[in-house]
Amino acid sequence: MVTLPPVPVAISTDGQSLPILRLLNTAEAASYLGLAENTLRIARVRGTGPVYRKFGRTVRYAVEDLVSYAEQSKRKSTSQTA
């Protein structure tokens, strides 16, 4: 698992508080979820993985989106569908 460094909760710009969005690359996101990097790559193509952001050719995952994806993947039975 990836150990994330502590990050301030918010920053101030012109008197406004803005939440900090912690972004991970594919390797970090895969490690965070306990998956192989290729699993996330394939999921991006199929549209079945966590939400991600794209900056040019750079792919980044927000930790909050990875947590949400993990929560949505909860199942109680092998017969339960998504």
**Distance separating alpha carbons of residues 2 and 34, to the nearest angstrom:** 9
Predicted structure pTM score: 0.75
22-63 pLDDT tens trace? 899 999 999 999 999 999 999 999 999 999 999 999 999 999
Q: Which amino acid is at 5?
A: P
DSSP string, 33-73: HT--HHHHHHHHHHT-S---EEETTEEEEEHHHHHHHHHHT
Judge residue 74's burial from the number of C-beta atoms within 10 Å of its C-beta, 0-12 exposed, 13-18 middle, 19 or more buried: exposed
pLDDT of residue 9: 56
Per-residue pLDDT, averaged over 54-80, amounts to 92
Pick 50 or 6 by higher pLDDT.
50
Is residue 13 very low, low, confident or very high in pLDDT (cuts 50, 70, 90)? low
Specify the long-range contacts of residues 49-53, CB closer than 8 Å, at least 24 apart.
53/23
Tokens of 6: 């502590």
